[in-house]
């Protein structure tokens, strides 16, 4: 279908999700999509910029190619399972609409600036997922997803700050980025029902990025990107860092669920006190101890955090209709078949004295270190013959396939 947007001199030929190469299957050899840096001093970056100050990284790629067409992005924004937003206008007059969008929505847009933003595109498009690979100098558990934006001339989401680090990779066209001071909850915002726009944004740096250029912005730095000309596409490689509130809330909820009614305050040594109305320091110390002793269990915390961190943000359901069974897994692995990870799934492991804890999509598997490490190393896995022959491997892989986190690559 052709969606003409004459006022913008732009025509989207919407690609339905199923027409995007590899959409929802992610089953293509990784080497076809590899993206690598040719010039980027990662150690220098980590020492001087990561979580410290912004950095413009002029096209560092061995060979940059834009991994997604604007039409494909527009097609994703029409899909019910994909989270997307349209921000129309500029200044405080910007209006936000949430997707999914009707196929004719883009054709209806009046002349003027607008931008379309689509979340977690790496979950749906393997070539966009491949963009994450060079950023794995940051551990996987800190990586969130790739948001992709497309803007007409002058389009952008306005001046704002994020709580997370972001690498803004310019895919197509040009965008002017202005970066300003560190912000916090006291930073004045413009009144707006949907957007958190900074009121008096004064930039200290300004750059125009072209295809392949990258801007790194640490958490809480004010920034604003405005498309210079039409056909401006930007890939935001986003990270996550749990807030203390999220950790306390999640960990306490997990602990509390496993506690029994009988586990409560006791005072067999109670003595009469001068003022019955007083909660004494001794009572407070005992109450506080009840809480802090439970919270101090580091091993239980690690188990909870691994499961919590590996919970998928969006559901890219790969669950098979019928369970695969360990025997089929054994036969497929004996034939040298390769496994693909669901791009929406999260794989992380923790070392333990006797085994590794492998966490996938909120579930823990206690397994051989080699198996956990190979499953966490890349999105496509051909297991070592020794690991592939182990009965424990067959059980773990069958469970991962049944829960929709893994699939065998079908060469046909
Ligand atoms: C954009 O791509 O327009 C917004 C990205 C950001 O500011 O984080
Ligand atoms: Co931002």
- Residues 332, 185 share a domain: no
Residues with beta carbon inside 6 Å of ligand 1? Answer: 115, 149, 156-157, 162, 166, 168, 223, 225, 234, 236
Question: For 91-119, how does the pLDDT look when each residue is reduced to its tens digit (9 = 90+)?
Answer: 888 999 999 999 999 989 989 999 999 99
> How confident is the model at residue 12, as a pLDDT?
59
Q: What is the pLDDT of residues 207-228, one digit of tens each?
A: 999 999 999 999 999 999 999 9
Return the half-sphere exposure (C-beta side, CA atoms, 13 A cut-off) of residue 180: 18
**Local confidence band at 206 (pLDDT 50, 70, 90 cut-offs):** very high
Query: Which atom, in ligand 1's list, is nearest to the CA of 149?
Result: 2
Number of domains observed in the structure of the chain: 3
- Residue at 306 is within a domain: no
Tens digits of per-residue pLDDT, 11-21? Answer: 555 555 545 54
> Which atom of ligand 1 sits closest to the CA of residue 156?
3
Atom 6, ligand 1: which residue's CA is nearest?
236
168 in a structural domain: yes
Enclosing domain of residue 258: 244-270+277-296
**Within a 10 A sphere around the Cβ of 364, how many other Cβ atoms?**
16
Residue 3 pLDDT grade (very low, low, confident, very high; cuts 50, 70, 90): very low
Element housing 392 (H / E)? helix 391-402
Same domain membership, residue 178 and residue 85: yes
Flag whether 172 is in a domain.
yes
- Based on the fold, state whether residues 123 and 137 are members of the same structural domain: yes
Name the band, by pLDDT with cuts 50, 70 and 90, for residue 317. confident
Distance 263 CA to ligand 1 centre (A): 49
Residues 292 and 366 in one domain: no
User: Which residues 6+ apart lie within 8 Å of 108 measured at CB?
Assistant: 5
Phi-psi domain of 128 (left: phi exceeds 0; alpha: psi -120 through 50; beta: other): alpha
Whether residue 301 is contained in a domain is answered as no
The rounded distance, in Å, linking the Cα atoms of 374 and 361 is 17
Domain co-membership, 41 together with 190: yes
- Same domain, yes or no: 121 and 212: yes
Q: How far apart are CA 11 and CA 109, in angstroms?
A: 11
> Quick one: 64 and 213 in the same domain?
yes
pLDDT at 135: 98
**237 has which bridge partners?**
146, 167
Give the Å distance between the CA of 114 and the centre of ligand 1: 13
Do 143 and 12 share a structural domain? yes
Residues 57-84: tens digit of each pLDDT: 999 999 999 999 999 999 999 999 999 9
CATH number assigned to the domain comprising residue 330: 3.40.366.30
* H or E element that contains 329: helix 326-334
The answer to the question of residue 46 being in a domain is yes
88, 164, 195, 234: residue to mutate for ligand 1 pocket, most atoms within 8 A of CB: 234
Q: Is residue 337 part of a domain?
A: yes
Q: Residue 314: inside a domain, yes or no?
A: no
């Amino acid at each position: 279908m052709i969606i003409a947007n004459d006022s913008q001199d732009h025509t989207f030929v919407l690609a339905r999700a199923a027409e995007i190469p590899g959409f929802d299957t992610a089953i293509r050899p990784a080497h076809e999509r590899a993206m690598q840096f040719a010039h980027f001093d990662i150690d220098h970056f980590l020492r001087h910029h990561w979580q410290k100050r912004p950095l413009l990284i002029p096209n560092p790629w061995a060979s940059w190619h834009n991994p997604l067409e604007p039409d494909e992005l527009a097609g994703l924004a029409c899909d019910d399972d994909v989270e997307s937003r349209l921000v129309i206008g500029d200044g405080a007059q910007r209006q936000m609409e949430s997707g999914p969008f009707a196929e004719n929505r883009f054709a209806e847009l009046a002349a003027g600036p607008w931008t379309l933003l689509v979340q977690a595109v790496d979950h749906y498009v393997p070539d966009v997922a491949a963009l994450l690979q060079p950023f794995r100098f940051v551990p996987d558990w800190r990586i969130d997803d790739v948001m992709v934006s497309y803007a007409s001339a002058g389009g952008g989401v306005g001046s704002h700050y994020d709580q997370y680090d972001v690498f803004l990779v310019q895919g197509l066209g040009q965008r002017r980025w202005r970066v300003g001071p560190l912000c916090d909850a006291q930073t004045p915002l413009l009144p707006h029902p949907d957007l958190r726009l900074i009121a008096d944004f004064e930039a200290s740096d300004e750059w125009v990025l072209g295809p392949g250029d990258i801007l790194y912005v640490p958490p809480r730095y004010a920034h604003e990107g405005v498309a210079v000309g039409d056909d401006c596409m930007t890939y935001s490689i986003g990270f996550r860092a749990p807030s203390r509130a999220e950790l306390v809330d999640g960990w306490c909820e997990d602990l509390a669920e496993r506690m029994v009614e009988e586990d409560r305050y006791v005072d067999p040594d109670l003595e009469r006190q001068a003022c019955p109305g007083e909660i004494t320091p001794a009572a407070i110390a005992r109450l506080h101890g009840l809480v802090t002793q439970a919270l101090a269990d580091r091993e239980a915390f690690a188990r909870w955090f691994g499961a919590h961190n590996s919970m998928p943000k969006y559901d890219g359901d790969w669950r098979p209709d019928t369970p695969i069974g360990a025997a089929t897994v054994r036969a497929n692995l004996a034939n040298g078949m390769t496994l693909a990870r669901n791009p929406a799934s999260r794989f992380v492991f923790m070392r333990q004295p006797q085994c590794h804890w492998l966490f996938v999509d909120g579930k823990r598997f206690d397994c051989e270190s080699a198996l956990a490490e190979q499953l966490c190393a890349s999105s496509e896995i051909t297991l070592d013959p020794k690991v592939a022959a182990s009965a424990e491997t067959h059980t773990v892989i069958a469970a991962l396939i049944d829960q929709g986190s893994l699939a065998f690559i079908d060469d046909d």
